[in-house]
Amino acid sequence: MNRTFDSEVLLIEDNPNDAELTIRVIKKQVTGTKIHHLKDGEEAMNYIFDDNHQVHQHHIARIKVIFLDLKLPKIMGLEILKELKENQETALIPVIILSSSREDKDITTAYRYGVNGYIVKPVIFEEYAEAIQNAARYWLFTNETIRT
Amino acid sequence: MIESTVLHLVYNTALLLMLVFIFDVFVIRWPRSNTLRNNIPIGVILGLIGIILIETHWTLENGVIFDTRSILIGISGLYFGFIPTLVAMIMTAAFRLSEGGVGVLTGILSILSSGVIGIVWREYRKKEFPDYSLTETYLFGVTLHIVLLLLMFTLPNKEAINTIKSVALPILLIYPAGTALIGMFMTHRLQREKLIHKVREEETKLKIIANHTTDWDYWLSPDGEFIYCSASCLQVTGYPDHQFYNDARLVERIIYEDDREKMTNYLKRDCSKGPAHMEFRLVHHDGEIMWANHSCLPIFDDSGKFMGTRGTFRNITAQKEAELKLIEKTNEISQILSLTENSRRALLSVVEDQKITQEELALLNEELEQRVDDRTALLTAANRELEAFSYSVSHDLRAPLRGITGFTEILMNEYGDKLGSEGAQLCSVIKENTFKMGKLIEDLLAFSRLSRKEIHKSEIDLKSMFKSMYFEITTPSEREKIDLRIGDLENCFGDTSMMRQVVANLLSNAIKYSSGKSPQIIEVFSKREDQKLVYFVKDNGAGFDMRYKDKLFGVFQRLHSASEFEGTGVGLANVQRIIHRHEGEVGAESTIGEGATFWFSIPMHTSPDKQNTKLKKGL
């Protein structure tokens, strides 16, 4: 199942354990995939937008899919999602929420903002690994995205 | 000869005066007997008088007999009318015919001419009441006797001239005067009778008026005696009129004692001066006190002489009583009005008080609302904190577990050969415990979500829900050991997804705790109690100790060890929370080793008929 991939996966996750497990699972699935890990909301916003709220074209050009946690320090995941989906240049990048929350409110708000998928992180690692691998496979290979 | 003529004239006059008597009796006294049957006898009497008159004639020298029959027959025609005159004419003419003599024809003609002239004169004058004047009767007499003289020419020439010579003067002078005299007598009688009749009529009228009145009318002479006292005094006072005629002072005595002095003064002083009236009380003969209105007027004749007093007593008791009642009612109304005014004032005062109370109430309400707002704010804040807590638990408590399982897995996969079999076993224990904790957290979060979730009620077919849930939570091999008996369950009104959790929990518990029995018998049935529907899930499983039944529905409360039956102790807590949110109750009965019966009740939402309808929706 291992495949090579030159595009970038953006992972916005504050929990280092979850981040490491996620990176391991994706890399195991797609060999050579470049995963850019950002540790909080502010870091994520600075990576995508400059001080004038202009998009860093050279950053976003490579992003194939964004895995976004909801509960992030400084800027919450839903705020980042809103900014991404409201901006014409980032609106088309697939964003998948990776969250422990099963709350209706979170799920509804995310979809209202235009999220492309919502995965509740299972506690059991096998289940978690399977969910991440399925999502990564789908968004990196199965699903056809708009080429910029 | 002259003596004889005078004598006969006297006789004749006397006979003629009988006419007046006959007229008086038959015509005036019996005025209604003017019929053929009564007129013929009058005519016969007149005829008889005529015959007697002829009999008492006097004979002239030439053998001509002479009498006053012309006056009789003429007056008869004039005053008695056609039929009596005709009868008298026939009788006298017949008699004269039987007498014979030279003047038979003349005699008969004189009878006929006198009668015809009388009847014609009466008809011509058309007098129903023949009150001819003296002049008219004299002219009538002259006419009658001129014709009589002319009839003398029906005698032989010699006798005619001799007769006319001898009788012309007395006939033209005495006979008309006699006719006028008799006519005058009769007219006078007639007029007198007419007057008497009129007076009688007036008298009758006055009597009728006086006797048909409810007022007591009287006339007192100047010296205080009753000249007239109407019979109605009996009605007014209870005393008959003759008692007043006999004793004029009775009037004073029947006046009520308190009014007597006032009334006596009034009668003596005021009534002789001019019109006056007064109201006072009388004591009726039967003892009853009654009110009377007295009015009086002095009477004076044409010369101004005082003739006494005319007075009237009128019974005004009913009117007076009505007046007194009116006064009484007016007083009552005044009192009521006064009371009403007081009530109005009291009401205004109440309204005023109410206004103050309302203002106070509004103030209290405002305070209460403020307190409610404050409490709501506190509650909202508490809820928000709870949500934040749940959110935190949801995210932060589970992430480390994932780390533990994740890294344990990596340890096992990547360093398995270095761990050895014991190390691998320990890793499995770590994973297993982490899994249990994950499940616990998951259940706790679900329980927390339940209390915040909105309820959307609809009609639910619980029988179908139990059936489908049974197939969802069991495998075919498990079902082989289970004997599920679902009775006729009533439909209920509730939140479908929540009720599914209730059904799932109770059914899975029943299956779980009866797993040691073979066969596992599970019964589901419902009952109606008051306004509630009660559903029962009964199993033949392990049961529980009834001493701990209160702990059954508490969160994380378990009555069995994990080694006996798996579970987190959240399922029944969820059931209780859901049923409470549906305003129902939950409970359980059990005997250890024989099984348990769990029940829950839901209030009837609609009519029983509607609740009975089987609907498949919401499953």
Residue B613: pLDDT band with limits 50, 70, 90: very low
Report the number of distinct structural domains present in chain A: 1
Instruction: For residue B117, give both structure tokens.
Output: 């002239």
Confidence of residue B561 (pLDDT cuts 50, 70, 90): low
Q: How confident is the model over B102-108, as a mean pLDDT? A: 82
Share of chain B above pLDDT 70, in %: 90
Q: In this complex, which of B398, B407, B449 lies closest to A123 when CB atoms are compared?
A: B398
How far A120 CA lies from chain B's nearest CA (Å)?
Answer: 10
B384–A contact, CB cutoff 8 A: no
Q: Are B151 and B113 within 8 A, CB to CB?
A: yes
> For residues B574 and B450, is the Cβ–Cβ distance under 8 A?
yes
Chain A CB contacts of B396 under 8 Å are: 71, 100
Is B32 in the A-facing interface, judged by CB distances under 8 Å? Answer: no
Q: Which residue of A has its CA nearest to B413?
A: A126
Phi, psi (deg, nearest 5) at residue B184: -65, -45
Task: Say if the Cβ atoms of A21 and B445 lie within 8 Å.
Answer: no
User: Which one of 3.40.1350.10, 3.40.50.1220, 3.40.190.10, 3.30.450.20 gives the CATH number of domain B216-315?
Assistant: 3.30.450.20
pLDDT at B554: 77
Top CATH class of B457-612 equals alpha beta
- For residue B435, give the chain A residue with the closest CA: A124
State the pLDDT confidence band at B19, using cuts at 50, 70 and 90.
confident
A127 and B CB contact within 8 Å = no
Q: Which fold has domain B2-196?
A: Arp2/3 complex 21 kDa subunit ARPC3 (1.10.1760)
Of B170, B167, B130, B128, the closest CA to residue B151 belongs to B167
User: Does residue B33 carry a pLDDT above 60?
Assistant: no
Using a CB-CB cut-off of 8 Å, the residues of chain B touching A123 are: 398, 401-402, 405, 434-435, 437-438, 441-442
Closest CA to A20 of A102, A129, A127: A129
Residue A115 lies in a domain: yes
A100 touches chain B (CB under 8 A): yes
Burial B331-366 (b: 16+ CB within 10 A, else e): eeeeeeeeeeeeeeeeeeeeeeeeeeeeeeeeeeee
Find the domain containing A131 and state its range: 8-142
- B241-293 tens-digit pLDDT: 899 899 888 888 899 988 888 888 887 777 777 788 888 899 999 988 889 98
Is position A147 within any domain?
no
Q: How far is B412 from chain A (nearest CA, A)?
A: 12
N-to-C CA span, chain A: 27
Interface test mutation site (partner B, options A125, A127, A130, max chain B beta carbons within 10 A): A125
Identify the CA nearest to B502 among candidates B546, B467, B466.
B466
**Which whole-number Å values give the CA distances from B243 to B23, B233, B234, B251, B302, in the listed order?**
45, 10, 10, 10, 31
- Cα separation, B560 vs B569, in Å, equals 10
Nearest CA in chain A to B441: A123
Tell me how far apart the alpha carbons of residues A129 and A111 are, in angstroms, rounded to a whole number.
23
Tell whether A60 is covered by a domain. Answer: yes
Interface membership of A15 toward B (CB under 8 Å): yes
Q: Note whether A104 contacts B409, CB cutoff 8 Å.
A: no
Probe site for chain B from A69, A71, A123 (most B CB atoms < 10 A): A123
- Please check the confidence at residue B600 and state whether its pLDDT lies above 90: yes
Which residues in chain A are closer than 8 Å to B398, comparing Cβ atoms? 100, 121, 123
Predicted pLDDT of residue B248: 84
Write the residue in A17, A122, A125 that is nearest to B409 by C-beta: A125
Residue A6, min C-alpha distance to chain B (Å): 26
Q: Is B238 left (phi over 0), alpha (psi -120 to 50) or beta?
A: left
Structure confidence at residue B127 (pLDDT): 65
The answer to whether A136 faces chain B, any CB pair under 8 Å, is: no
CA nearest A69 in B: which residue?
B395
Give chain A's length.
148
The string of pLDDT tens digits covering residues B347-396 is 888 888 888 888 999 999 999 999 899 888 888 888 777 777 766 766 67
Q: What pLDDT, in 10s, does the model give residues B576-596?
A: 989 998 999 999 999 888 899
Instruction: Confirm whether A116 is domain-assigned.
Output: yes
Question: Tokens for B233?
Answer: 């005094």
Residue of B nearest to A72 (CA): B395
- Give the C-alpha distances (Å, rounded to integers) separating A34 from A28, A97, B231, B284: 12, 19, 147, 139
**pLDDT < 70: residue spans in chain A:** 1-6, 146-148
- Which secondary structure element, helix H or strand E, spans residue A84, and what is its range? helix A77-86
pLDDT of residue B126: 67
> Domain ranges in chain B?
2-196, 216-315, 457-612
Helices B104-125, B134-151: axis angle to 10 degrees equals 150
* Continuous H helices in B101-256: 104-125, 134-151, 157-211, 233-237, 241-246, 250-253
Mean pLDDT, residues B138-164 taken together = 84
Q: Report the complex ipTM.
A: 0.76
On whether residue A1 sits in a domain, the answer given is: no
> Is A103 within 8 Å of B390 when comparing Cβ atoms?
yes
Chain A, residues 60-79, CB within 8 A of chain B, namely: 70-71
Per-residue model confidence as pLDDT tens digits over B332-359: 888 888 888 888 888 888 888 888 888 9
- The answer to which of A113-127, B54-68, B309-323, B465-479 has the lowest mean pLDDT is B54-68
pLDDT digits (tens, 9 = 90+) for B500-539: 999 999 999 999 889 888 899 999 999 998 889 999 999 9
Q: Provide the percentage of residues in chain B whose pLDDT is more than 90.
A: 20
Average pLDDT (B413-434) is 87
Three-class SS of residue A35?
A: strand
Q: What is the DSSP letter of B551?
A: G
Cβ of B402 within 8 Å of Cβ of A125? The answer is yes
Question: Would you call B407 an interface residue with chain A, using a CB distance cutoff of 8 Å?
Answer: yes
Give the model confidence (pLDDT) of B175-228 as tens digits.
888 888 888 888 888 888 888 889 999 988 988 887 777 888 888 888 888 888
Q: What's residue B67's pLDDT?
A: 77
Contact A48, A84 (CB under 8 A): yes
Asked if A123 and B406 come within 8 Å (Cβ–Cβ), the reply is no
Cβ–Cβ contact B401 with A under 8 A:
yes
Q: How far is CA B216 from CA B261, B318, B392, B602, in A?
A: 21, 17, 118, 95
Out of B394, B402, B434, closest to residue A101 by CB: B394
Q: What is the mean pLDDT of residues B39-51?
A: 87
What pLDDT sits at residue B5? 65
Is residue A2 assigned to a domain? Answer: no
Residue B142 touches chain A, beta carbons under 8 Å: no
Q: DSSP characters for B365-432?
A: HHHHHHHHHHHHHHHHHHHHHHHHHHHHIIIIIHHHHHHHHHHHHHHHHHHHHHHHHHHHHHHHHHHH
Q: Write the CATH number for A32.
A: 3.40.50.2300
Please tell me the distance from the alpha carbon of residue B286 to that of residue B140, in angstroms, as a whole number: 70
Measure in Å the smallest separation between the Cα of A9 and chain B Cα atoms.
Answer: 21
- Mean pLDDT taken over chain B: 84
Quick one: pLDDT at residue B606?
A: 54
Contacts of B434 in chain A (CB under 8 A): 123-124
Q: Is residue B443 within 8 Å of B568, Cβ to Cβ? A: yes
